[in-house]
Each structure stands twice: as structure tokens, then as C-alpha cells.
Chains A and B, each alone.
Chain A
Amino acid sequence: MAEPSASRSDPETVGRRAFLRRLAVAAGGAVVESFPGRSRARAAAEQAFQLRAPEPDPKRGGTLRYGVASSPAHFDIHQSGTVANIGAQGPMYDNLIRRDPRDGQTIIPDLAYRWDIAPDGKGYTFHLRSGVRFHDGADFTAEDVKATFSRIIWPPTGIVIPRTPLFSAVSEIRALGPHKVEFRLKEPRPRGFMLSAFASGWNVIVRKKTLEENDYNLRQTPNYPGTGPFRHVSRKKDEVWLMERNPHYWNTPLPYLDRLAVYNFAPFSPELGAALLGGKLDYARIVDTATLRRAQEQPGMTGATYYQSVVDAVWVNTRHKPFGDPRVRRALHLALDRHALIDVVKEAAPYLLGGFVYPFSEWATPRNEMVQRLGYQQDPKPAVEEARRLMAAAGYAAGLRNVDFVVREGASWKLWAVAIQAMLKEALDIETKLRTVQISAFFEETQGGNFDLSIGAIVSTLIDPSDYFNAWYGTDGPQNYSKWHDPAFQKLVTQIDRELDDRRRRALVRQGEAILEHDPPFLPVAWEQLSDAWYTSVKGQQPRHIFGIYDVARWDVAWLDK
């Protein structure tokens, strides 16, 4: 397999003079960095930020028993999109920059102790820590960062990395000396978006040599070295992954725990709840509502609910008549009583009311405005009346028959499908035939367009609309199952991607939202939230404010008060 190119397909041409100039800059930088005074200043800068537990006097030692889906289908974190990888492997790796595990929001230094953004917004330079070692003893350098991100941004044939589109503006990666790396962009992108992309928990740094030795494919390489706070000890397939403290971790005195035992449990499963409540686990990720409730009631235990990067929705096949008509799709959208749908599944999982934008994000229409809007009101009658009017205008006042409704296997989707079937029948006289399919068949059906309606869920990496507006609603978006296309929206998304002013960008997002409301690419059902439960002896872990389970999965600031 060929090495991934270090530049995009249209790399800027580098002449001989330019090349020599860059070489001189890089060499000069390396020489200057070796001066003693400079080294001291650099060391001080590197030490300026050191992560600590949120509590004042954390204790060292102990083994944390952590229950989470951790039986990955393969071991390549970059190629993965499931918690089964990041849940188990996350603690063994570091990022360039990361989300602060104490608040889940702030972007903080990681392997890069500092970063500069060029005034034109087209260059991101990361200053890397020196003296960091991979678990196999090798030094961490800018070449590892370059190799890691080259593979993420320009994956070789046969490698599929869901985060690739986040870096579509990157044209080149340059190692400017052993501990400095620069990303050049073809055109500027909003800073928040780019930094969020770099800080995504998925973008862990791996060794260049590891990639080379494995033909750039780590799917079947279980224990490739990272620089993270924990090192691999052993793995029992589908059962437990044991890790030990990395004694050479650069962020002393982290981690506080001696060992981490990651047990494999399916999300929401009764087995996970039973293992926690039975005292076999200290911390359980993605528990069912009943377990959360018990944990919150039981002395010595607690739990929390947090936002997840997932929307549950019904896709409407725009290539099947009459669903290409925006009036029909808007009518279906208005016929759903979302408050009732959230109530239907509340015993299984907590969900949030929302439309086409993450409802808890700064980009969303505030909830008090949202609940005034047709389709989101407590009283569904006005929305249903409007839906009937739209159906009549589209020529379907008598409703529809034999609508093929594909349901992804899963408790919430099955409950919702039955409720939605009843709502569509009652409001619009639409008769649907439910067809439940396993996940492995669901994506074949939806991507192949073998459905009229289809209920399931999709995930995004970032909370920033530039990520999911393209992936979910973009004409060629991989999760645009409805095959929806709106030229005005596409133009708007390009503007949103490029707009650097936050206020103007927010206004553009609202315009996009208005288009989506009236010409819906899917019918939003609800936005996911997840719950963790744990014993209060587990400290340093505070998931209440995190977004998604993928950015904060390292356990470096966790400690046991036992």
C-alpha cells in the first residue's frame, strides 16, 4: 500500500528556491532550539500547562473497573466510529490538543503545548512537547504527527476514516523541525471548527513507524504504541482489557490510577447495570434509565446524564413518489408529536426535543422559541391541521397506502416506529408497513434506497454545523439517506464553512435551519442523551458537561478515594 501523500491532490508548487528557503527555516529553527537559554524557556513553556484532577488532593493507586462497550470490531481508532474502540483504547493515546476532561468543553494543550494560527487563517502551527516517548520507548516527533494526520486527511486506498472531511481545507502538512508541525489550508476555516477538529478524541497520535510497518492499516493490530497515560497489559476478547499506569507519562503526576480494567458491556444492557449494582464495576458508561435511577437513589452511588452527538430521525426517500414533494415531507414532519415520542421511550433512554440543529448548542434556536414553532408545540393540533392542508395541496388529501417503513433493530426505534405509524395514520391517513431489520442490513437498505420511510440514528464528530450540515444534509453527504438536494441550502453551507465571523455564521445557520424546516431532508424525532453511573469513590470524572462520549475517554485525571 502506498504511503499517504503529504499533500492534497492540488499541492502548491514548490520551486527550488522556496524549497531551500523552507529547509533553511526548519534547520535554523532546530539550531536555535538547541541553545541552552532557549531550551530552558521552552521547557518552562512546556511545563506551563499541566493537567490535574479537579479535586485538590487526589490519591494515587488502585484499579478502576470500568464497564463500557469495548469489544471493537477492529483496532484502528482512526477508522472507527464506535465507542467500542475509543472506550477501550482511548486511555492509551494522546492528541495534539484536546478537550479538557474536567469540563468537556475547553480546548487545552496535549502533545502540543502551544499553537499559533496565521493571521490569514491559513496556517496552524503546533509546538510539540520534547522528551515524550511512545510506550515502546521511541521518541515522539513532528514526523509522527505528520504521518498520523496525513493518513487521516488523505487515507490510502482501502482505509476509511470518518474524520477525513473535517480537514478538507488542509492542503499540506510540514514538519518544521523535530517538535514543530504546520498545517497549511487552501482557504481559511473558522478557528473554532479547525481546533475542534484537531481536538476530536478520535485523532490520536500514533507512530509513523507503526503505520509504515502495518501498511497504514491498524485494523488487525491490537496493541500499537501510544504516548497515553495507560499502557496495554492484556486483552481477553469480548471480556476485559487490562492497562497499567504509564510511569513515563509526560504529564506528571498523571495518571493517578495504577491500573484500568475495561470490561466489555453493551450500552443500555441489563448486564451492565447488574454488574455495576452488584459491585463488580466502579463506573458504568451508557446505562439504562432504571440503573441510573437506582444509582442515584443508592447511598455511595451517583450518576449523570449528558449530551450525545446523535440525532434519531426518520428518513424520507425523496426518489420515491410522492416523497420528492417538499409539501409531503413537511406534512410528515408536522404530523409527529415529538413530546409524545420522547415520552414513549423515557424508560429506556433520556431524549431531547430538537429540530435540525443540536438543540443544546450555541447554534440552535432557543428552546422557548422552538416550542412555539409548528411541529414542536406541546399541543400538536395546529401542526396537524397545517399538515393536512399541505397534503391536500399536494394532492394526497386521501392519504397514502402501503408505505414501506424500515425500522432499525433496537428498543427505541421499534417503540417509535409503532407510535409514528399510529400518528401518521391518525393525522394524515397514511398507512405504513413496518419492516424491522438488523443493523447490518439497515445501512444496505437505506443506502440502496430500498425504503419509503426509515428510522434510525446518525452521529457527528463535532457540534459545529459545518461538520453535520455537510454529512447529513449535503447533496453527497454520506448520511443523506433521503438523497435530499436543495441548491439554496448547498450554497449556504459553503458560506457557513467559509465564514469566519461567528455572528454572521450564526445568522447563516439560522437561514439554513429555516430551509430545513420547510423542505425537511429527514424528520427529526429526538436528540440523544446518555447516562453514566458510578460509585462516589470514583473521583475526577465529571461527565455532566461533555458533548458525546468520544472526546473525553482517557481516565488520566480519575482517581479512587478508597
Chain B
Amino acid sequence: MLKYLLRRLIFGLPTLVGISIVIFVVMRVLPGDPLVAMFGAEGFQRLNPADRARIMSDLGLSDPLPVQYVHWMKDIASGSLGRSFFRGDRVSELVLHRGPLSAEIGVLSVLISWLVGLPVGITSAVRPNSLADNVGRSVSVLFLAIPGFWLGMLIVLASLFWFHYKAPLVVVQLWEDPWTNLQLAIGPATVLGLGQGAYIARMTRSCLLEVIGEDYVRTARAKGVAERLVVVRHALPNALLPVITVSGILMGFVLGGSVAVEQAFGVPGLGTALVTALVERDIVVVQNLVLLYGVIFMLVNVLVDLSYALLDPRIHHE
């Protein structure tokens, strides 16, 4: 297992290097000038070429691209991740401050997706084409179709105008004040979780329907095992493998979706920081956050692969 894990991580490295090169190049090729955000429109217009060259040099943007890339890698190796162009803050501090909240939103959303998706999927599969199945499927399609940021805005507006409620304005960590922290995380997590839950429900339904038709399930029923046990003990564990795979892939959607949903809820997580950095053309922040998202996505997929061995004894990781 350890060997397998190491191999996966080593094979993952070229992927991460690829991601880093792509985002590094894209951020430098895209039109737009970081000095506009730095000096404001009025100040930017008064920059003379000499000032401009000097400031670009101070920011390290005048160096040849390979040199800039090496500097970035050194920053990553040192753990500081470099400094924001604009305020001079370390990117590592930003990640440590906001990362926990975004991670919490991600984990909560996966939890919600399973809590919602699995029961709906199982109910649909056990009673196919019943009223419950039809309602479950319709709701799933609805949540698949609704964009998360739009649903988020509706929730914010509804809670504001009906209950005069607005979530806290600043990051509060779980260990500082769990109740306030939950108020921040629960909205985005629910919206993201419902969207994913729809996928989980549909996948659970189709996998379970297939497994329920297998011989060993018929045998279990013939032996007089209670229907609930047939589903939970015999059918579900075998139907869950594809569902877990989908959850791993959906984690990528959570990471991507959290950018828009955090914005919609006004939650100051990493997604909001990424949007701000993009607007400001804060290259250092953007490239580090995108790479971080890449690392997380890769690790989640490794964890998903490892979980196969736990769920299916036929699979061995060597």
C-alpha cells in the first residue's frame, strides 16, 4: 500500500509541474496590467516608462520567464509561496487564514451530498418508477440544472428579506467560535452539497438498480434476509464504488464551484481571494492558489483510489 501511495505521489508530480507551467504562462500571456490595480486608473496614467520599468523590476516581472519560474519554485520550497504584489502579504498567510474555512466548506458539502444523495438514490432504486422515484429524480435534475451561485444569491436574499439575517462578515475559525463559523460555512456548503447530491443520487440509483438484479442479491432474498439488510449489507457496498469515484471527481467541481458560491454568499474564503486576485491581476496569488487547488484535486483522487481497497477486497494496491 505504501509503495502504491508513493508511486502515485511521484507520478502526480509531473502533473503538478504541468499545472504550474500552464498557470504561470497563462497569467503572463493574458492581457492586462497589474500596475492598474496597484496605482489606480489615475496613477497608472501618470506612470512614465522609467517608473514603470523600475516598478516591474521591483516586482520581479522584468526577469526572463524561466528565472521568474525558478523564483516561484523557490518560494514554494521555502513555504512562503511568495508575496502578494499589492499589499506585500505572504500568500502562505492568506492560505492559512482562509484555507480552513474553504476546506470546511468542501468537507461539509461532500457530507451533505452523501446525506442527501444516498437516501434519495437508494429510495429511487428500491422502488423504481414509483412516486418517490419520480420526485427524487425530478429534484435531482433541478439541482443539477440550477447554477450554485444563483441559488446562493437567492438564499442570501431570502434570509435577508424574510429573516433580516446576514452571515458574519469576517473569517471566524472553527476553533475560535464554532457557531459563528458554522453560520459562515453552512450556506455555501449546502448549495454545493445539494448540487453534488443530485449527481450522487443519480449514480447511486443506477448502480444499485444494476446490483439489485445480480444473482447474489436474489440468493440473499431467497434465504429470507430482510429487504433492508439485502440493500444495506449486500447490494449497497458493491454499488458504492462508482459513487465514490464520482465523489472524487465532484470534489473538483466543489473546488471550482466554491469560487462562485463563496462570492455569492460573500464568504471570505480562498475562492473569494482567488476572484479578487484575478481582478487585480495579482499573479503571485493566482498562480499559488490554482496550484494549491491542483494539489488538493490530485490528493483527493489518490485517497479515492486508496478507498477502493478498503471497500473491495478483490482490489489490492501493490
Contact = CB atoms under 8 A, between A and B. Distances in A.
Interface of A: 71-75, 79-82, 157-162, 164, 219-220, 222, 236-240, 263, 270-271, 274-275, 277-281, 437-444, 447, 458-459, 478-479
Given A80-B43, A236-B170, A440 B266 contact: no
B42 A478 contact: yes
Given A72-B87, A79-B39, A444-B31, 8 more contacts: A73-B37, A80-B40, A158-B55, A274-B266, A440-B33, A441-B32, A443-B45, A479-B45
Contacts of A159: 51
Contact of A279 (B39, B166, B280, B281): B166
Given A278-B165, A441-B33, A162 B170 contact: no
Contact of A271 (B33, B47, B266): B266
Interface in B164-214: 164-166, 168-171
Interface string B259-303: 000000010100011001001110000000000000000000000
Contacts of A74: 38, 86-88
Nearest to A445: B31
A272 B266 CA distance: 9
Contacts of B165: 278
Interface pairs A-B: 3 shortest CB-CB: A278-B166, A440-B32, A81-B40
A261 B89 CA distance: 21
B41 interface: yes
- Which range holds the interface residue count of chain B? 35 or more
B43 A160 contact: yes
Task: Tell me whether chain A's interface is mostly helix, strand or loop, or mixed.
Answer: loop
A262 B35 CA distance: 25
Nearest to B93: A237
B56 to A, nearest CB: 11
16 contacts: A71-B276, A72-B87, A74-B86, A158-B54, A158-B55, A160-B47, A219-B38, A239-B268, A240-B170, A270-B156, A274-B156, A279-B164, A280-B166, A280-B168, A441-B32, A459-B42
B281 to A, nearest CB: 5
A277 B41 contact: no
A478 B87 contact: no
Nearest to B168: A280
A236 B171 contact: yes
B161 to A, nearest CB: 8
Nearest to B171: A239
Contacts of B89: 237
B68 to A, nearest CB: 18
Interface string B223-259: 0000000000000000000000000000000000000
Interface in B100-151: none
A439 B44 CA distance: 11
Contacts of A222: 87-88
A220 B87 contact: yes
B22 interface: no
Given A73-B86, A157-B50, A222-B87, A81 B39 contact: yes
B12 interface: no
A239 B169 contact: yes
A279 B168 CA distance: 10
Nearest to A479: B45
Given A158-B54, A160-B46, A237 B94 contact: yes
Given A274-B266, A275-B166, A443 B87 contact: no
Contacts of B36: 439-440, 442-444
Contacts of B168: 280
Contact of A478 (B38, B45, B169, B266): B45
A73 B169 contact: no
B266 A81 contact: no
B41 A439 contact: yes
B164 A73 contact: no
Contacts of A164: 46
Nearest to A83: B40
B141 to A, nearest CB: 28
Nearest to A480: B45
Given A72-B87, A274-B156, A443 B44 contact: yes
